[in-house]
Amino acid sequence: MRAMRLHEPGQPLRLETIDRPKARPGEVVLRVLACGVCRTDLHIVDGELAPHRNPVVPGHEVVGEIVELGTGVGDLQIGQRVGIPWLGQACGHCPYCVAGHENLCDTPIFTGYDRDGGYAEFAVANATFCLPLPDGYGDAEIAPLLCAGLIGFRSYRATGNGHALGLIGFGAAAHIICQIALEDGRRVFAFTRPGDTDTQTFARGLGCQWAGGTDKPPPELLDAVIIFAPDGALVPQALKMLRKGGRVVCAGIHMSDIPSFPYADLWGEREIVSVANLTRQDGRDFLERAARQHLNTTITRYPLAEANAALADLRDGRLHGAAVLVP
């Protein structure tokens, strides 16, 4: 099969022909129909996350059709469309897994990081961590839901019940989550790179009440802010946007260091929390929501061989919505 592989962080991916994976007990092999390009992939490729294996095939927003079943797989069937998310396996017996927090597992396996992912024509996955996908979405359209949507949804639920929600970094995750927030009756305030009027117009077109650069304050204090951008300097800025009792949710797996800030900006029972990975229950809950409320994903398609171009467009902020590879 063809695959785009990372051999050394900081270097472009290479298009190579490698052996197609085979299913071991408890695994399935998928023919990849589409794979979203996530900012976490960019952190891996750029070396901002320490390498776990080299070479590796990135990609963890994988939509595929099952073409091979290992023994003991259970209810999955040949020809079924499923998704492979970031959390590819958890141990099931560490204190976090036992307590229902498999997203914090001590020995997790991540798709496209610890095992090969979806920047390829075929991918193998642990069957119990595959997510059956709802009808009504095309393969490329549903791919961003498998991380941008899933992690965004976990972050959204961490904000509580406030009505005024800020989204900093209006990319793949924010353009999905704003639709859910608006459906829930919240007012959404979008923050982009300073001067990015195109993305601000895009956010307002989706229904955001206000959109502006991160260099501008919102027109009112907010109940919660989700930070999708990997810039730690945005955390003190977000605190200044909050009402008392408000919460800043840091949604990314990687963020630059947070600079010091006055305690007065945190006082008033304001909170800063992070979101780590996802659980299978997150996936089931979110995809059930996506089946009830059709979520419109704005995507740019790229052939598999142009994965480096997709990553560059993401790195440089040239995308509205999400990039998706279609082998």
Q: In tens digits, what is the pLDDT along the chain, a chain of 327 residues?
A: 999 999 999 999 999 999 999 999 999 999 999 999 999 999 999 999 999 999 999 999 999 999 999 999 988 999 999 999 999 999 999 999 999 999 999 999 999 999 999 999 999 999 999 999 999 999 999 999 999 999 999 999 999 999 999 999 999 999 999 999 999 999 999 999 999 999 999 999 999 999 999 999 999 999 999 999 999 999 999 999 999 999 999 999 999 999 999 999 999 999 999 999 999 999 999 999 999 999 999 999 999 999 999 999 999 999 999 999 999
Tell me whether residue 230 is in a domain: yes
Tell me whether residue 164 is in a domain: yes
Query: What pLDDT score was predicted for residue 32?
Result: 98
**Quick one: 86 and 61 in the same domain?**
yes
Q: Tally helices (H) and strands (E) across the chain.
A: 10, 17
**Number of structural domains, the chain?**
2
Contacts for 170 with CB less than 8 Å, ≥ 6 apart: 178, 190, 191, 192, 199, 200, 202, 203, 211, 228
Q: Is the peptide bond before 55 cis (omega within 30 degrees of 0)?
A: yes
| Strands 27-37 and 122-126, bridge-based pairing | antiparallel
Query: What pLDDT score was predicted for residue 36?
Result: 98
| Cα–Cα distance measured from residue 310 to residue 301, given in angstroms and rounded to the nearest whole number | 9
Q: Look at residues 235, 255, 274 and tell me which one is the last residue of a structural domain.
A: 274
**Quick one: 6 and 133 in the same domain?**
yes
Helices 148-157/172-183 angle, 10° precision: 50
Q: Look at residues 255, 274, 293 and tell me which one is the last residue of a structural domain.
A: 274
Determine the structural domain holding residue 181 and report its residue range.
Answer: 159-274
**Quick one: 7 and 142 in the same domain?**
yes
**Quick one: 169 and 290 in the same domain?**
no
Helical residues (DSSP H) of the chain, grouped into ranges = 39-45, 95-98, 139-142, 148-157, 172-183, 197-205, 234-240, 263-266, 280-292, 307-315
Tell me whether residue 131 is in a domain: yes
| Strands 299-303 and 271-274, bridge-based pairing | unpaired
Tally of CB atoms within 10 A around 72:
10
Query: CA 169, 173, 176, 178 torsion: positive or negative?
Result: negative
Tell me whether residue 152 is in a domain: no
CATH of the domain at 36: 3.90.180.10
Contacts for 50 with CB less than 8 Å, ≥ 6 apart: none
Query: What pLDDT score was predicted for residue 74?
Result: 82
| Cα–Cα distance measured from residue 226 to residue 159, given in angstroms and rounded to the nearest whole number | 8
Tell me whether residue 153 is in a domain: no
| 214 token code pair | 């991160």
Q: Look at residues 249, 274, 299 and tell me which one is the last residue of a structural domain.
A: 274
Closest CA to 103 of 163, 25, 183, 158: 158
Note the pTM of the prediction, 2 decimals.
0.94
**Three-class SS of residue 283?**
helix
CA dihedral 107, 157, 214, 317 (to 10 degrees): 60
**Quick one: 256 and 283 in the same domain?**
no
**Quick one: 117 and 229 in the same domain?**
no
Helical residues (DSSP H) of 33-90, grouped into ranges = 39-45
CATH of the domain at 195: 3.40.50.720
Tell me whether residue 154 is in a domain: no
**Quick one: 31 and 129 in the same domain?**
yes
